[in-house]
Structure 1
Amino acid sequence: MNNLAVMYHYVRKQEGWRGIFPLSPQDFSYQIDELSKTYDIISLDQMDTPRSKPWCVLTFDDGTKDQYTNAFEILKRKGVPAYFTVMSGPAVSGVVPMVHLVHSVLSFVPDEEIWEQICLKHDTTGIEEASIIYAYEPKRLRRYNKYMLNVKLTTEEATEILGSLFESLFPNKHQFIHDFYLTEQEIKHMYREGMTIGIHGHDHLSYFGDAQQFYDREIQPCREYLNKVLGFRSDWYTPAFGGGVQHKEMKEQLTPILIANGFKGAFSTVPKEVPHDRGFWIDRIDCAKLFHAR
């Protein structure tokens, strides 16, 4: 049996947030118990240690507050390690990444209203076929909106659509950032309790094709932020969106730069198990595809 890396995002009750698909704390706890029956759940630095059972690592993207208040508390109680990646942009620049503008606005604004604004300003030709990447969304307009905002439109174009809507929902952006993301104190606490802290990026950008420029803009600022918070250079990386549509080019072009800068490894969103002779890039299976919710 191969090893396993599991990908998590939100661990919380939905509580009105219609723009996200969270895993409940109860189901998260259940998954850990089920995984523990088959795998040794280990920290990243234990992956290359020989053992009698296959191993499993638990990975978290985005560094949202629920991961501290819910997932981390459950992990501590069960004595299980995990790997959390954070973004530096919200804390350093006071900027909410586009992915969370989308999640927030789509949670509380009707899809019809957002789609109308998009259609007034932008070409939506081919949207039915292109939006298939969001096939898990049962509602047609929700698929359309997510594709246009996350993929087709530029950051500036998407912000023009979402900015005023977000501000009307959350007028105090500083408070939103404090309440939505991990604080420096929480990151330190998680690290002291045995959690691995890694880099997710500065602004949660997909790979855009220039490896050195991408490293300088998206990875290095986050590494510097974590160095300031924790006092050492983090050496694990998980790219936003798994790299995006250029994920294959990212692996080919970015890997030499990561290795040259001392990174030990990075995580993809390719849904495969991890072979015993793992490479630099480690594939992950989404938690939603592990078990049926109880």
Structure 2
Amino acid sequence: MSRVLDTVTDRLVIPGYSRLGYQLRKRTWPADDPQPGVLRGGLAVVTGAGSGLGRATALGLARLGAAVVLVVRDEAKGEAARAAIIAEVPAAVVLIRRCDVSSLDSVRRFAGEMLQEFERVDVLVHNAGIMPSERTTTADGHELTFATHVLGPLLLTDLLSSLLAASPDPRVVFVSSGGMYTQRLHADDPEYRDGEYRGATAYARTKRMQVTLVPLLAERYAPVGVHGMHPGWADTPGVAGSLPGFHRLTKGFLRNAEEGADTVVWLAATSPAPRSGRFWHDRRERPTHYLPTTGEKHQDVKTFWSYCTNATGIS
């Protein structure tokens, strides 16, 4: 019955993505999953960790014993996040490193520093997100949302793959969005050059692209576990700033950041490891498509992968 209720609330969207869905599902989860201290001695890297879901994820991983690298553009926000985590977990090891995930040069610099400083990475969480109101290009000439959500994470995963491979149980998690269900894979226009640009649409398109990447990277980097998830509707600074109308209408039943980040932390630390290459919400594997119009053709996936590898220089 609980699985039926879970599926119904998921399909109805509003109850499933809200705090109500989280509270209903949480009642069926074991209290000791993940196990306390399971990440002790490990290293977790979280992008976009200065606030919102990223900071909540870093806090959750620190509670489980991991040393955490907060990857941020704004070091002042990183310092504030670090102070908040230390206040909750006084013994936590929390490091701050600057990286603009939308910049391929910045990603390469950051990855080079990581390779010099550390012998392994156990968890890599791709959380950094953006929703510009107008089409903007990076110094590399790529559309900003695409660069932040797709190219930067792809390149960073590749550059840190040797550190991940050195972990006894490496895991990579992409924080996507339920909004991706509304979009097909735009392999013919990944940079959103055609048509009227809308920030929310660009966001949803690139979140669909992240979900498309997950099984490709799971195969490429096996035995590294690569997972995708969406957090439901969470009350974060990003949502309030980018979608003020939505935030005003839904604020009363939005999840808090820790509830939104719960499945990220679970994917990073639950045992046994979840199946790689899958998509998750509230600790359960979910379909990647609900609409027949969003189904992916094999050739579109190949075209998309080729574009991304060419853009990042991955062989």
TM-score, normalised with respect to structure 2: 0.30
Bigger RCO of structures 1 and 2 (CA < 8 A, at least 6 apart): 1
- TM normalised by structure 1 equals 0.32
